[in-house]
């Protein structure tokens, strides 16, 4: 464990009970030793991006404080995904749960197993809408632009609808 860092996690699902899966994933994140959920966005119903015919997703973003280094946090999140039945088969395909590290403080990581900031976050409405809800003035460490600024100039037209609900 190291000095605590503020990190942002993207959490999504489109199989089974997607909203329930997101709630359960966040509950499990909250039990990680040395980690605490600080804020969470609303949940959003989102149009799938990438792969053809599949169900719409439920997505949200959580702000956490964690003492895990980035790679250890990734391993813990992958363990949560696996324990919830996640099978890594098709990229951008249907999934029971997906937990991505979007930002990890202002760290920039570019390794074989982990890229931070998340390499697609600035192009994805389903990430930027919930990020903007809880952290509009957080600065993207590569672009030097706030989440609000990224959302304001976003060209992604995929549907994103706030569904609310406590998670």
97-111 pLDDT, tens digit per residue, is 999 999 999 999 999
Is there a catalytic annotation at residue 98? yes
Structural domains in the chain, sorted by start? 5-164 (3.30.70.560)
The one catalytic residue in 23, 28, 40, 98 is 98
- Alpha helices, DSSP H, located in the chain: 18-30, 70-83, 125-134, 147-152
The pLDDT tens digits of the residues spanning 78-128 come to: 999 999 987 766 665 678 999 999 999 999 999 999 999 999 999 999 999
pTM, entire model? 0.94
Cα–Cα dist 42/4, whole Å: 25
The one catalytic residue in 23, 28, 40, 86 is 86
**Based on the number of CB atoms within 10 Å of its own CB, is 2 exposed (0-12), middle (13-18) or buried (19 or more)?**
exposed
């Amino acid at each position: 464990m190291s000095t605590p860092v503020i990190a942002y996690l993207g959490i999504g699902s489109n199989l089974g009970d997607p909203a329930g899966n997101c709630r359960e994933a966040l509950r499990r994140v909250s039990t990680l030793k040395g980690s605490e959920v600080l804020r969470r966005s609303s949940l959003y119903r989102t149009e799938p991006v990438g792969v053809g015919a599949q169900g719409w997703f439920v997505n949200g973003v959580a702000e956490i404080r964690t003492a895990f280094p980035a790679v250890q946090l990734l391993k813990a999140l992958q363990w949560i995904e696996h324990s919830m039945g996640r099978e890594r088969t098709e990229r951008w395909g249907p999934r029971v749960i997906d937990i991505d590290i979007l930002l990890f403080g202002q760290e920039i990581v570019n390794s074989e197993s982990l890229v931070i900031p998340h390499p697609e976050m600035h192009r994805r409405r389903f990430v930027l809408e919930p990020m903007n809800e809880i952290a509009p003035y957080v600065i993207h460490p590569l672009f030097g632009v706030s989440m609000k600024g990224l959302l304001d100039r976003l060209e992604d037209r995929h549907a994103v609808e706030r569904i609310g609900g406590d998670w």
